[in-house]
Chain A
Amino acid sequence: MKEQFQSFTQLCTRSLADDPALRLEVGHELEGHLEDACEEERSEGKSEIEAEDQAKKRFGEPEELAQSLLDANRKKLKLRARIRLAVKVALIPAILIGLALCIDLRTLAGFAMLDDISGFSNLPFAKIQQEKLFLPVIAHDLNRLSGKDREFVRSYLPILFSSEKSSWEKTCYEENPESPMFTAHYALSLTPTDMNRWEEKERTECLRVLGRGRRIDPDNALYDYLEADLALRTALVAGEKDGEYEIKDRAALDRSMKLYLAGLRKPFVRTYAMELPFEVYRLLNPNNDYLGILERINIYASAPLRFPSRQRWLTRASLFYAETLRREGKTAEAEPYFHAWRQFIPQMQKFDSKTLIEVLVHYNCIKIYRDSAEKRGDKAEAEKLAAIYAPMKHWKERKDPNEVLLRKHAGLLAALLLPALREEIPLKELGPERRLSYLVLDLAGLAALSLLLAVCILILAAAVLAARLAGHRPFLLLLPWKSYLRILLWGIAVPIAAFLLYTHIDALGGRDLALSENPLRHAAGLIGIVLVFPLVFKLVYRHELKKQGKALGFPKGRLPFATACLNMLCGFAALLLVTGCVLRPLLAWECRHNIEKDELLDTDRGFTRVEVETANRFNAELADAIAAADRKP
């Protein structure tokens, strides 16, 4: 019976052939009517065939009805055709926009870099060279620059990642021969780390640059010290212990130490080490986001601090020279070298004492002077130097007061940067950076979700294509607007709300704890965003499709495979777009909010507020202690 009515209703609805879904729905409606009428006729005692014929007769002429149905649905057909066309046109852009919103390559590169730095996980991309990870992070800012600035920053980049000699210093020096900063950097890059690899012409070039540096920056002792360093390397051979040397060339040693004394008479030493990263950072002007912080830390961490090792080397070598003079009975000549710290350290502090590393090196030199004074039996000098060194000694002996606090509550960067500082840190100050660490992982989760959706979309597209090639004609279902509302509510809004609740109520997501202390609950959050999101959406969307499938007359609402694939494909594309449009701005807003609240990492120099404060405090204490020691007899 059903088949007979189907062929009849197909005649009635053939005018709607351009819209297969509408045709099926109207056909199903008419079949229902004919079946009811047929049943009624049968109940009145007619045979099966008579009942069917009578039902069709009561229904009217199919040709006439086809025309009337076309007239009645013309407006609807036009609208639906337009919507389908719009969906077809918007499908690929929607997928691309969704992917672009969900996958923030810069964030992912930053996340990988953070992972690489912190060793948080052993993800495969941690093995990628840091340079490759960092470039996408700063590419965005680099692309904003133009002309000389762009070239300057671009040529500086190799310095960020390798100790290999680059031609950058030479280029900058040649382009700016009157610049004290570029001259200092070029001079530092020319002084050797391995004497054996040196050629005479390089030495000549080095001496030429040192001479030029002295001319354009006459108050800067850097060039005297570098030349002294050069001479020392031919004069001395290191012994087995620190501070023990063998004299290879006494004349070179005397010449070197004369240069050292000449340097001590100048007002300051300036290597311009931090000026460079400051300048690079100023030009790049990164966004005020987590990656901006990473960018700053990377740039500052890469500052070429080439002088501190030479500072220690000059200290040890000059004290060795003074000892040699003393043994030779030239006590008066030896004295300036024994007390050189009075000039040497303040000289360094004037400009090159911005980072904790530099301050630690100054204190280390004080310790070397103290050890030397103790060794030669100069008790008064040793006491003075011990008093100067005391704050650092106390600081080094101090146990980190935040060990448990940081392990349990620090974000990735705080856990990396703070433990060595041994300063009290209030718990609430750790909150914003810890949340930022979670947010970076959430952004990675969002990218993973979008990739999963993209893979599903590709598989569905392949299935639709295969079905088309096999002769099937899948069609797009347009659901009632209430169905779309339900999908939006249960398939998208509720999972997003659940995710936000999970991630923002500490009792649920455990975000009051450090990532390493919260692996299970955080993994649950990530799995939630990556797997549960599309799964819930699929269930809700499939339920609505089934309802519509029933309306179209498919048994149990099961759509033909190709049609189901096509509709699911469009659904996933919409999910990708809506999720990207909603979650990305939300996460970005939250990143900004936490950065505004972050007092630990919010600093325009150095790595953390605590480090800047510690370096400043030690600088002040060191300067005061040296001044006080000078006043003592």
Chain B
Amino acid sequence: MSKKNELTRGTVETVILKLLSEQAMYGYEMIKQVNRRTDGYFEWREGSLYPCLHKLESEGLVEAFWQEAGGKPRKYYALTKKGAEAAAERVAEARAFCRSFSLLLTTAEA
């Protein structure tokens, strides 16, 4: 496993929650969004997205519904009320982590 994959592994749920906090999406759409917004930095095994989505669904953080899009039925995911709260919390945590990590990397001890 590459170092990059190790770094991104623990962020999958947060990324999904963040994306869904913006709008309801189906799995392939999420992959495309992540690739586009990270310039392809996040190299997920695409299939691994689904167990994660199903886990979030069984935890009640997201809910799924089928809807036609582009002439095909697609399974969309959207945040539940509980999911929206969790998304806000996890995004804030991630931001704090990134800020601290960045500080750690950019400053030297006096």
Contact = CB atoms under 8 A, between A and B. Distances in A.
Given A37-B28, A551-B75, A60 B47 contact: yes
Contacts of A30: 47, 50
Given A33-B28, A71-B51, A550 B73 contact: yes
Q: Which of A36, A37, A58, A73 has the most CB of B within 10 A?
A: A36
Interface in A26-47: 26, 28-30, 32-33, 35-37
A43 to B, nearest CB: 13
B28 A32 contact: yes
Given A32-B74, A32-B75, A37-B28, A72 B45 contact: no
A12 interface: yes
A367 B75 CA distance: 92
Contacts of A29: 27, 50, 75
Given A547-B66, A551-B66, A551-B75, A69 B46 contact: no
Interface string A542-570: 00000100110000000000000000000
Contacts of B28: 32-33, 36-37
A68 B28 CA distance: 18
Contact of B73 (A59, A72, A480, A551): A551
A35 B72 CA distance: 10
B55 interface: yes
Q: Tell me the interface secondary structure of chain A in the complex.
A: helix
Contacts of B48: 60, 65, 68
Contacts of B31: 33
B58 A65 contact: no
A1 to B, nearest CB: 14
A30 B75 CA distance: 10
B75 A69 contact: no
B54 interface: yes
A550 B45 contact: no
Given A33-B46, A37-B28, A60-B46, A68 B75 contact: no
A551 B31 CA distance: 21
A59 B72 CA distance: 20
A36 B73 CA distance: 12
B72 A60 contact: no
A53 to B, nearest CB: 14
Contacts of B58: 72-73, 75-76
A32 B73 contact: yes
Contacts of B47: 12, 30, 33, 59-60, 62, 65
Interface in A606-630: none
Contact of B46 (A58, A75, A547, A550): A58
Interface string B40-52: 0000011110111
A550 B51 contact: no
B65 A33 contact: no
A60 B45 contact: yes
A479 to B, nearest CB: 11
Contacts of A72: 50-52, 54-55, 58
Contacts of A33: 27-28, 31, 46-47, 50
Interface string B71-92: 0111100000000000000000
Contact of B45 (A26, A28, A59): A59
Contacts of B74: 32
Nearest to B55: A72
A65 B52 CA distance: 11
Contacts of B50: 26, 29-30, 33, 65, 69, 72
Given A33-B27, A75-B58, A69 B51 contact: yes
A59 B57 CA distance: 21
A480 B31 CA distance: 26
Contacts of A58: 45-46
Contact of A59 (B46, B51, B54): B46
Contacts of A61: 45
A37 B27 CA distance: 11
A35 B70 CA distance: 12
B19 to A, nearest CB: 15
A205 B75 CA distance: 93
Contacts of A35: 72
Nearest to A74: B58
Contacts of B26: 32
Contact of B54 (A37, A62, A76, A480): A76
Nearest to B73: A550
B49 to A, nearest CB: 8
Nearest to A25: B75
Nearest to A56: B47
Nearest to B43: A58
A576 B31 CA distance: 47
Interface in B6-49: 26-28, 31, 45-48
A59 B24 CA distance: 22
Q: Which of B31, B45, B52 has the most CB of A within 10 A?
A: B45
Contacts of B73: 28, 32, 550-551
A59 B66 CA distance: 21
Contacts of A65: 47-48, 50-51
Contacts of B55: 71-72
Given A29-B27, A547-B66, A551-B73, A37 B46 contact: yes
A75 B60 CA distance: 12
A62 B58 CA distance: 22
Contacts of B52: 72
A37 B31 CA distance: 10
B46 A68 contact: no
Q: Which of B27, B48, B65, B66 has the most CB of A within 10 A?
A: B66
B38 to A, nearest CB: 16
Given A61-B45, A550-B66, 4 more contacts: A30-B47, A59-B45, A65-B51, A72-B54
The 10 closest A-B pairs by CB, nearest first: A60-B45, A68-B51, A60-B47, A72-B51, A72-B54, A72-B55, A59-B47, A36-B28, A551-B66, A65-B47
Interface of A: 12, 25-26, 28-30, 32-33, 35-37, 58-62, 65, 68-69, 71-73, 75-76, 480, 547, 550-551
24 contacts: A28-B73, A29-B50, A30-B50, A32-B28, A32-B73, A33-B47, A36-B28, A37-B28, A58-B45, A58-B46, A59-B45, A59-B46, A60-B47, A65-B48, A65-B50, A65-B51, A68-B51, A69-B51, A69-B54, A72-B52, A76-B58, A480-B65, A551-B66, A551-B75
